[in-house]
Structure 1
Amino acid sequence: MSPPAARLLDDRAVRLFIALAAFFCVNATLAEFIGVKIFALEDTLGLDPFEWNLFGQTGSLNFTAGTLLWPLVFIMTDTINEFFGRRGVRFISWLAAGLIVYGFLFAFAAIELAPAPWWRGAAQAQGVPDYQAAFAVVFGQGLWTIAGSLVAFLVGQMIDVVVFHRIRRATGERWVWLRATGSTAVSQLVDSFVVIWIAFVLGPQKWPTSLFLAVSTLNYAWKMLAAIALIPLLYLMRRWITGYLGADRARQLREHAAL
């Protein structure tokens, strides 16, 4: 007879939750670390600058690299919400936040390690004169940025789960796209503005209101466009999960998640 732990892992729903939670946490943590890079959309696409004008701010469209991954986090959030409900989303949200903090603690610890003298200049041929300084700048994000990201992430996730289930109660099993997109629209409106406000307005950079509103609005618009574009992926995920679990088991999970 198989031990209890082995029988538990034989449950496809358990294995599915572990896989979704792992993918969610990896994407959320990675988004925090690569978010330090700001990229120009037009230059990336090989286009001339759009010269947009928003709240008095003009120039090219600039985003954090983390915005590339957040749409996938939204898909994972909505999928877990669909099949594992509030408890599932809250569990993975707190788990991801803990892993992000854990990652930054060890990043700061690595920065404090005395670099080998030869390593400092190991990347000079690639245009990096001081590898230690580059490492510290990339991985040693300011505490205001980290705090803003974590607060915005957790607040956004908690709002997402509430809005998702309110729409679900109103529509039943219909209109999956509406509860997914609607919850993302509300949660990311808060997330996009809170993170910039804490990191760059309250923080040492003291951004002016016009820059804060412009950058926050652009990031929110990008996230929403990506969320809408990924609606077909949400339906594909739902279909694949139903096929993996079986129609009866998938229906049981959705019914329990809706309670």
Structure 2
Amino acid sequence: MEFSNKGQKLFLILTAVFVANAILAELIGVKIFALEDTLGVAPFNWNLFGQTGSLSFTAGTLLWPIVFVMTDVINEYFGRRGVRMISWLAVFLIIYAFAFAFAAIALAPAGWWVTVGEKQGVPDMQAAFAQIFGQGLWTIAGSVTAFLIGQLVDVGIFHWIRKRTGGKHIWLRATGSTVISQAFDSLIVLYIAFVIGPQKWSISLWLAVASVNYIYKVCAAIALTPLIYLLRRLLDSWLGKPLSDELKSKAAAA
């Protein structure tokens, strides 16, 4: 792909933000948090598929809305090829990050470091480090598979809607692509990581947690739609109308 200097800069910036957030989301996604307890309110006592209690989310959901916005902006200016390239790059770097996390776990810890966190309630720093960063292969496989499938579905739906609306209604293609792609993402990652994986979640627990995470992602996508319009306006102004129109035209035709 040949871009002007500003086009190249934009692609580089979007790639950096996208990949950084994707990797961070994968690393912190091992934590499951309770929404009501985090907010300091009484549990809603929801009942989904027989599961009750506080609403449970993976911590990675905090960052995925940013990934959604970046995906839609990249789609808008660089098309399918741009999104696919960045998605494959993100997958490679996620695997790369986990590979070095496992390598770090395998390093022999300094004796004094193992107990340095005792006063903070962490008696064994090596065990804590291994538990947090040593996500099982099932979790890694689930995350990478779900991420890649979700991105490929997202870009396909985005351009399908774009062609049928003639480039209008960015809110429709941005939200529509997220609504469908994140159904795949939310179900796949938890199924591979926690149902097939060693924790052996029940189907009801899988569906309950996946549903809550999916609803959150959809709501976040809708809430962030104005941000996509704002970013588009700012980028159009920065790029200049001729270059902006050229990039969008190439993206739509790709």
TM superposition score category, shorter chain reference: over 0.9
Return the letter of the residue paired with 1:65: A
1:43 and 2:37 are equivalent in the alignment: yes
Match of 1:149 in 2: 143
Q: How does 1:19-30 map to 2 (within 5 A)?
A: 19-30=13-24
Residue in 2 that maps onto 1:67: 61
> Shift of the alpha carbon at 1:102?
0.4
* Cross-structure match for 1:133: 127
1:10 shift after superposition: 7.1
| Percentage of pairs with the same residue | 63
TM-score, with normalisation over the residues of structure 1?
A: 0.95
Partner of 2:212: 218
Partner of 1:83: 77
Cα shift readout 1:108-141 (whole Å, capped 9, x = no counterpart): 0000000000000111111100000000000000
Distance in 2, Cα, partners of 1:225 & 1:113: 42
The alignment status of 1:180 with 2:179, answered yes or no, reads no
**Structure 1 counterpart of 2:112, one-letter code:** W
Maintained 8 Å contact 1:9/1:15: no
The runs of at least 4 aligned residues of structure 1 exceeding 2 Å deviation read none
2:175 partner SS: helix
For residues 181-225 of structure 1, the C-alpha deviation after alignment (integer angstroms, 9 at most, x for no partner) is: 000111001110011111111112221111111111111001001
Which position in structure 1 is the counterpart of 2:51?
A: 57
Rounded Cα–Cα distance in structure 1 between residues aligned with 2:233 and 2:40: 37
| CA distance, structure 2, for counterparts of residue 93 and residue 134 of structure 1 | 30
The equivalent position to 1:114 in structure 2, one of 108, 114, 120, is 108
The equivalent residue for 1:169 is 163
- The code of the aligned residue for 1:157 comes to Q
Number of equivalenced pairs: 252
Secondary structure of 1:53's counterpart equals: strand
TM-score where L is the length of structure 2: 0.97
The residue aligned with 1:247 is 241
Unaligned runs of 5+ in 2: none
Structure 1 stretches lacking a partner, 5+ long: 1-7
Quick check: 1:236 aligned with 2:230? yes
RMSD after superposition = 1.1
Pairwise CA distance, 1:79: 0.3
Find the aligned partners of 1:175 and 1:9 in 2 and give their Cα distance: 26
